[in-house]
Structure 1
C-alpha cells in the first residue's frame, strides 16, 4: 500500500481536528498517529486531565487524498474492524470516517457518564 506524503499527513491531521471541533463539540481534540499507510484517529475529551485519549478509527491511504478505507475501533476486542461509512460506501474521506466513528462511539454522550 502507498504511504501518504508528509504534507498530506499534516493536512489530514489539521482537517480532521478542525472537522471535529465544528461537528463534535464534546471532543476537545482529535489526533492522528501514523504507521505506514494507516492513520489511527484518537479522540480526546476537553476536560481529560491525563490526556490519554481513546481510539476511534483507523483510516488507510489508497493513493488519493479523497480515497481512504475505514475501520472502526471495537473496544470489546481492542481491535479495528473494516467497516463502511454512513453513506454505505467502503471508501471516502478521513472526515467521513471520523463522522462514522463519532456517530457510533459518541452517541448520546451527554446522557451518560464517561
Structure 2
C-alpha cells in the first residue's frame, strides 16, 4: 500500500481469470521460445505473481516476481537475484509477462549448461 494525500491506496488484487491466463500465457510462451523449460510455475500473493521455471532436468529455478497494476497485459517486474535469494525491482520495466519471461530467461536459462 502507498500513501497519497493522507489516504492509503489499496493495490488491486489479481482476478482469478487473470491468474489463469497469466499461467497459460507464460507456459505457452516458454514452450515456443524456451525449450530448456519444461514447465512454468506461478504462485500468487497479493498483487504479485512469483514465477519459477522448471528445467528439463527437473530443477526449479526462481525467475521473477510480476506486479499486477490493474491490467493483464502490463506488469511490473522484479528479477530474482540468486546471490541474495530475493527480488530486485526493475523499475524501468513495464510490459507483458512474455517480455518479462524473455528478459529473465536471457539472463538465467540460456546459461544453465555452463
| CA-CA distance at 1:102 after TM superposition | 0.4
1:3 to 9, 13, 23: 13
Q: Which shifted more, 100-109 or 57-66?
A: 100-109
Deviation at 1:83, TM superposition (A): 1.2
Structure 1 residues 52-91: aligned runs within 5 Å = 53-83=60-90, 89-91=92-94
Which entry has the higher C-alpha Rg, 1 or 2?
2
Q: Secondary structure at the match of 1:98?
A: helix
List alignment gaps of at least 5 residues for structure 1.
none
- Indicate the structure with greater strand content: 2
- Following superposition, the deviation at residue 109 of structure 1 comes to 3.2
Q: How does 1:86-101 map to 2 (within 5 A)?
A: 89-101=92-104
Which TM-score applies when normalising by structure 2? 0.85
* Post-superposition offset of 1:27: 0.7
The alignment's TM-score, normalised by the length of structure 1, stands at 0.85
Give the RMSD, CA atoms, in angstroms. 1.3
Match of 1:17 in 2: 27
Unpaired segments ≥5 residues, structure 2: 1-10
> Number of residues paired by the alignment?
104
Note the C-alpha offset of 1:66: 1.3
Aligned mate of 1:107, from 103, 106, 110: 110
